[in-house]
Amino acid sequence: MNNNFGDKLKSMKEKGVSLPITSDMFLWTLQKGINKNDAIRDLNVSFVNGLITISGNKEMPLKSIKFKVGLKPIHAHGRTLKLKLVTAKPVKWNWLNKIILNKPPFIKYNEENIKIDLNCIDKVKAVPIGNILSFEIKDEILWVKLGL
């Protein structure tokens, strides 16, 4: 019986567990950090062409500003995924990006770098052990492989 556990542990080290993270899961993570004062409306997330794209409207006193940011996953450490801000429309306004992307404790924004603790997503949190071994965006899904 002990040998069987050792075999499973070895298998997990070699193969890992692939978890699909949908745009809806990512959107939910962003939304739970938004408060009324942020005045963010029509928030949307999509995974296309290797980027995580976040779009929506920021309500201002005189008008609404439509925004769209593109984030590229670049590095993983533990269960934290580091993203780089690669596109921003209408422009790269640090104050606007901070309102959209800085949602501690799970999502932290600093200039063009974003760190997201994937343990805020139930599917990842349900796997009790392992760190991110690899990640890729494929078929509109962010695939994260956890292993030892």
In the chain, what are the domain boundaries?
A: 16-147
What local confidence, expressed as pLDDT, does residue 14 receive?
A: 67
Q: How far is CA 73 from CA 50, 70, 114, 121, in A?
A: 8, 10, 9, 16
47 pLDDT higher than 60: yes
Mean pLDDT over 33-43 rounds to 84
Give the pair of three-digit tokens for residue 61.
Answer: 């006193």
Query: Is residue 55 very low, low, confident or very high in pLDDT (cuts 50, 70, 90)?
Result: very high
In this prediction, residue 102 carries a pLDDT of 84
Write a three-state SS string for the chain.
CHHHHHHHHHHHHHHCEEEEECHHHHHHHHHCCCCHHHCEEEEEEEEECCEEEEEEEEECCCCEEEEEEEEEEEEEECCEEEEEEEEEECCCCHHHHHHHHCECCCEEEECCEEEEEHHHCHHHHCCCCCEEEEEEEECCEEEEEEEC
- Give 106-127 pLDDT, tens digit per residue: 899 998 899 999 999 999 999 9
Return the percentage of the chain with pLDDT > 90, whole number: 56
pLDDT tens for each residue of 58-96: 888 888 989 999 999 999 999 999 999 999 898 778 888
